[in-house]
Structure 1
Amino acid sequence: MSINQSLREFISNCALPANEARILLAHLLERHYQLPRSALLSRDDMRLNEQAFEEWESLVSRRMNGEPIAYILGKKGFHNIELQVGPGVLIPRPETELLVEIALSEIAKLNKPTKVLDLGTGSGAIALSIASAAPQASLLATDRSAEALAIAKHNAHFLNLTEQVQFSQGNWYEAVSPQNQFDVIVSNPPYIANQDPHLTQGDLRFEPPSALTDYASGLSCLEIIIAGADKYLKPGGLIVVEHGFDQSEAVLELMKETDLIDVQAHLDLAGHSRAASGRKRF
């Protein structure tokens, strides 16, 4: 690809899908020229300078090798915020916004200062989205990965949410004081079964395996989180977890077995059962 091409020609001649080429070019325009994405149209005859062109070739090469765009750009939009992401954390997915919406609905119903626990926070996507949208909520976000917590803390600082969201390192409830109880518990744990072929496909090849799979049936982390919820929920408190598209029945049964009430399945935008919720008895 020649440096003597316009933005329009870069997109049309790129080996990547046009939508991906536009995302990468928009990143370059912002980074090198402080121009908005709209410049792809308003200045589509523009040429890149040598430095920007070299970076363009590098970005295209990385994407052609399969690296996720979110990792290439170092950021990902989620719900109503933008997050720094990197190879140490799971890339936030649109379907996970369902957990945020369920939690926000519960917080609105309570209509009082609310305590929320986010187990396995990763980049902080769920906790920080809730905090951003619900100033009356205080959150504890946990993760066993120091690398993930460092990214989550950076995101909290960038979003000015450090007073509202606290962080703790540890494996699930091990990171939480036994005396601590919450109005809402949310979690998007690893739920892909070990040896699932999806782990070797697409973006998943680049993401941390421990954030994707439990190295077992796909249900072991969900079992721990659901089994421990009673101790850490206030009476009437809500737990909501994300799960795989084919795990709804099993997860709902886990909740019923632990004596949670008001057990419900929740559909994502594609119509798949993607989350389950239950409530501690009053």
Structure 2
Amino acid sequence: MNLDQASLLDELETIRDFVRFAMSAFHEQRLYFGHGTDNAWDEAVQLVLNAVHLPWDARPEVLDARLTRSEKRRVLEYLRQRVADRKPLPYITGEAWFMGLAFSVDERVIIPRSPIAQLIEQDFEPWLRPGPVHRVLDLCTGSGCIGIATALTFVEAEVDLVDISPDAVEVARTNVARYELTDRVHAIESDLFAALDPSQPYDLIVSNPPYVDASDLAGMPDEYRHEPALALGSGQDGLDVTRQILRKAGRYLADDGLLVVEVGNSEVHLMEQYPELPLVWVELEAGGNGVFVITAQDLRAHADSI
């Protein structure tokens, strides 16, 4: 598609013009929408509004506002990155949304999109035992969105955000500071549980680990190539990391604790491998799949078979 700036700077005037042009570009180039939006209109509106420093929910009247020449150049640069480079929009804007909360993101972390948000909104009921939540672990935290959202839900809880990637830990710390939670939310570099102390167990462990199997990884749209491979693929069946979590989590959970893990399409592989393990698969009313919960007691009771 021709993104020649000289002619477009003269021919396009309003936000509406650029939104329409962006939509045409998205359709022509067959872009994939899976990082915050699911259609060309929403993606185009967000791209243009972000480029001119307007909120995503700006009043509709703003669509007819004319842009300055410098604003036009910035919109076209955003559009070039999205269309020519296939870069996901949150990496262009530096921000993604999760549970109505804004998180700083870049290509050091995957873009937040976990359906675990639905469980956080329900306080993990009815699976989490009643009573106060004192300690939470967000394993494979990435940007820290799941752990931070959980900390804002359980306002008295201490929350550890753990990731093997030092780059991800740095991004998570940025988001912890953004929400002024440094007094009780801590980002830790660790290969799963390696740097953690089992004598200080967690009431809740939540994890969105790498879970894409080799076949799905090979066929993913170009947009996903911008995300860190370490955070996506997990062996031939997508379960290399999840198996480790299942084997070790029981040691780090309180006696009445709960483990929550997202495995996406690798759900089928997991059920085939552990038919006796009493995993409870959550029905996600707002969409998504592959999230299971299991209690600490059930993990320990089946430790020999994991």
Q: What range is the shorter-chain TM-score in?
A: 0.7 to 0.9
TM, length-normalised to structure 2: 0.81
Matches of 1:197 and 1:235, distance apart in 2 = 37
Check if 1:84 corresponds to 2:88. no
Q: What is the letter of the counterpart of residue 192 of structure 1?
A: V
1:248 Cα offset (Å): 4.7
Aligned pair partner of 1:64 in 83, 94, 101: 83
Q: What is the letter of the counterpart of residue 237 of structure 1?
A: G
Query: Measured at CA, do residues 87 and 36 of structure 1 come closer, stay the same or move farther in structure 2, by a change above 3 Å?
Result: closer
Q: Which residue of 2 aligns with 1:51?
A: 70
Aligned pair partner of 2:208 in 160, 163, 188: 188
Query: Measured at CA, do residues 269 and 71 of structure 1 come closer, stay the same or move farther in structure 2, by a change above 3 Å?
Result: farther
Matches of 1:155 and 1:76, distance apart in 2 = 11
Matches of 1:103 and 1:225, distance apart in 2 = 22
- 2:214 counterpart SS class: coil
CA contact (8 A) 1:119 1:188 kept: yes
TM, length-normalised to structure 1: 0.87
Aligned pair partner of 2:221 in 189, 201, 220: 201
Q: How does 1:101-140 map to 2 (within 5 A)?
A: 101=121, 104-105=124-125, 109-140=129-160
- 2:209 counterpart SS class: coil
Check if 1:6 corresponds to 2:14. yes
Q: What is the letter of the counterpart of residue 216 of structure 1?
A: Q
Unaligned runs of 5+ in 1: none
CA contact (8 A) 2:141 2:207 kept: yes
Q: Which residue of 1 aligns with 2:181?
A: 161
1:255 Cα offset (Å): 8.6
CA contact (8 A) 2:213 2:266 kept: no
1:140 Cα offset (Å): 1.1
CA contact (8 A) 2:237 2:269 kept: no
Unaligned runs of 5+ in 2: 1-7, 27-39, 299-306
CA contact (8 A) 1:29 1:37 kept: no
CA contact (8 A) 2:211 2:266 kept: no
CA contact (8 A) 1:122 1:149 kept: yes
Matches of 1:255 and 1:276, distance apart in 2 = 14
User: Number of residue pairs matched?
Assistant: 274
- 1:234 counterpart SS class: strand
User: Which of 93-102 and 207-216 deviates more?
Assistant: 93-102
1:239 Cα offset (Å): 0.5
Deviation string, structure 1 residues 148-172 (Cα, Å, up to 9, x no partner): 0000000000011111211211111
Q: What is the letter of the counterpart of residue 5 of structure 1?
A: E
1:110 Cα offset (Å): 2.9
